[in-house]
Amino acid sequence: MLTSAEAVVLAVAQVLLRCDQERYWLRTAAARIGHLFPRLPSQAVYNRQLRKLGPQMSAATLWLARQVPTWHEPLRLMTAPPSGAAPRG
């Protein structure tokens, strides 16, 4: 079983390596970062641990956001792809 810290590291790696599908991520994680973990979890165990860690991860994300000097500015600019937009090409 993964420790809480290992589960968070796996989740962060999943985002940084741009792997949106958890099923695909857990199959490719062994090849990409498997050398960092003695044993990778099943999808069910991974999902259960991340759900359990959700409040702590949200609190950590909020703490990090508040450390940015512009946190207290009245206007924040954010970018995101438009939802439902057709791909360019």
Question: What tens digit of pLDDT does each residue of 21-46 get?
Answer: 888 888 888 888 888 888 888 888 88
Instruction: Provide the residue ranges of all domains of the chain, joining segments of one domain with +.
Output: 4-57
Q: Is the pTM of this model over 0.75?
A: no
Binning pLDDT at 50, 70 and 90, where does residue 88 land?
low
Angle at 23 between CA 25 and CA 6, to 5 degrees: 50
Mean pLDDT in the chain? Answer: 83
What pLDDT shows up at residue 54? 92
For 47-55, what is the mean pLDDT?
92
What pLDDT shows up at residue 64? 87
